Amino acid sequence: MALETQGQDLHFSQFMQTPLLINPANTGFIPDGDYRMGLNYRNQWASLSAFPYKTMSAYGDLQLLQNSEETGWLGVGGVILRDVAGTSVLTSTKVYGSLAYHQMIDNGSLLSMGFNAGWANKRINTANLTFPSQWNGQFFDVHQSAQAPLLAANQTNYLDLQVGMNYAYFPNLSVYINAGFSAMHLNRPIESFWANATGIDNRVAIRYNGFINASFKLNDQIILKPNFYYSRQSGAWEGVGGLAAFYNVSGDGEYTLSAGAYYRINESLIPQLELGIRQLQFIFSYDVTTSSLKNFNDRRGAFELSITKQGIANPYRGNRHQSLCPTFH
């Protein structure tokens, strides 16, 4: 018997805070500085299981080899992603290195292209799983011997390749628009705990990502930032869009507050709060389930926390003091 399943890669609701995961062309594309670091944490479906799904990532990137006019530069970065899922303790670990080149087309637009390559490991622990042979007619008896599926291996490793490009348009200090597209798993790596079998395709499907975001400065106190993200892999797709409003608390841009809401189509409403303290941003969001799953999880989907730091590594290096997007500074 052959079984075919469809699904998507790991994901975050705060897609705008995981730039290297959604598009390698974002590597070194830092409108407000020349370096950036970030941490992300997601806890999902804690109301449905004693073993909630936990996804974590850490990334960093910086700009190198800028020309004298600072109209072109190289971006270098890396990201680590780890996910622990469910009672089977299905664990994924991925490590990527990214390169991208960015070139100003004129004084108000920028084109970027990038790629990354990485190593992925997925392992499974069947100790906490139950099987049909443990059903005694009333419940699963975990003390009864089980006939577990015979896996070829309890882990798999593979090389993973991605490529992407994006374009930014910033005609003045009050308007900024950025759009990008990427393709992941270009090499279609094999990911399976089973031995190869005729007629079964265990290769990872290519995942296509697209995004568009913008920033509009209304005045010295308020900036609006709409964002939209779409991803498709095999027969599964995801669309997330929304708006956040930023308020200049201190008057000089050193302290900011932001509130916003996003919607994952056919799945969840995602309110979000952000606190900005100089070069640090702390963002909290919560997935409120709106699909039929709400009848089982009482609308409690997932929460996420992200911390980002970005800035200028060497303010005396050159004339890179002008932000590409609207800012309170």
pLDDT digits (tens, 9 = 90+) for 16-35: 899 999 999 999 999 888 89
Q: What is the pTM of this model?
A: 0.83
- pLDDT at residue 124 above 90? no
* CATH of segment(s) 19-311: 2.40.160.40
Question: Which of the four pLDDT bands, split at 50, 70 and 90, describes residue 312?
Answer: confident
Indicate if the alpha-carbon torsion angle 275, 276, 279, 284 is positive or negative: positive
Using only C-alpha atoms, what is the Rg of the chain?
Answer: 22
* Two tokens, residue 106: 């004129």
Query: pLDDT-based confidence at 152, cuts 50/70/90?
Result: low
- Please tell me what DSSP assigns to residue 252: S
Confidence class for position 4, pLDDT limits 50, 70, 90: very low
Residue with tokens 């479906």: 45
- For the residues 40-61, what does the mean pLDDT come to? 81
Give me the mean pLDDT over the 70-94 stretch.
Answer: 85
* pLDDT tens-place string over residues 238-296: 999 999 999 999 988 899 999 999 999 998 899 999 999 988 999 999 989 887 776 76
Cα angle vertex 74, ends 233, 228, to 5°? 35
210-234 residue pLDDT tens: 999 999 999 999 999 999 999 999 8
> Strand (E) positions, 1-154?
35-44, 53-64, 72-85, 90-106, 109-123
pLDDT band at 154 (very low <50, low <70, confident <90, very high): confident
For the chain, the straight-line distance linking the first and the last C-alpha, in angstroms and rounded, comes to 63
297 phi, psi to nearest 5 deg: -110, 10
